[in-house]
């Protein structure tokens, strides 16, 4: 059962505020090497107003690609349809970046 606003307020208190500040910076890393050994990745997608939206996600590295999975109607998927530009960096579950960001292009795969 979804508790709505109470649950959202709790999650917002647990999230690290550094994610919002860090997601506005340009990526410095040229490859996804910083993600090796990390459990979570901070995926930054962009609204139509160009505001960054950071999301901590589980991910998988496969060759030179990073794979994440999400629901079809999730906000990050909708933002990715409008703008394929993303930033990605290793992070904690609370969205605190632990390494450099990499600029990338996102693509929505179909099953």
Do the Cβ atoms of 88 and 22 come closer than 8 Å?
Answer: no
Whole-model pTM: value is 0.82
Looking at residue 5, what is its pLDDT? 61
Q: Which residues lie closer than 8 Å to 94 by C-beta, 6 or more apart?
A: 14, 15, 16, 56
Looking at residue 14, what is its pLDDT? 67
Do the Cβ atoms of 91 and 56 come closer than 8 Å?
Answer: yes
Q: Domains (ranges, CATH) in the chain?
A: 5-105 (2.30.110)
Looking at residue 28, what is its pLDDT? 84
Looking at residue 46, what is its pLDDT? 94
Q: Which residues lie closer than 8 Å to 49 by C-beta, 6 or more apart?
A: none
**Positions in the chain short of pLDDT 50:** 1-2
């Amino acid at each position: 059962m979804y508790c709505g606003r109470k649950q959202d307020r709790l999650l917002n208190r647990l999230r690290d505020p550094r994610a919002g500040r860090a997601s506005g910076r340009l990526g410095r890393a040229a490859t996804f090497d910083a993600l090796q050994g990390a459990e979570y990745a901070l995926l930054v997608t962009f609204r139509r107003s160009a505001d960054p939206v950071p999301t901590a996600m589980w991910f998988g590295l496969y060759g030179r690609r990073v794979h994440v999975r999400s629901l079809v109607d999730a906000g990050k998927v909708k933002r990715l349809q409008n703008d394929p530009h993303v930033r990605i960096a290793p992070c904690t579950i609370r969205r605190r970046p632990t390494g450099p960001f990499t600029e990338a292009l996102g693509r929505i795969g179909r099953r």
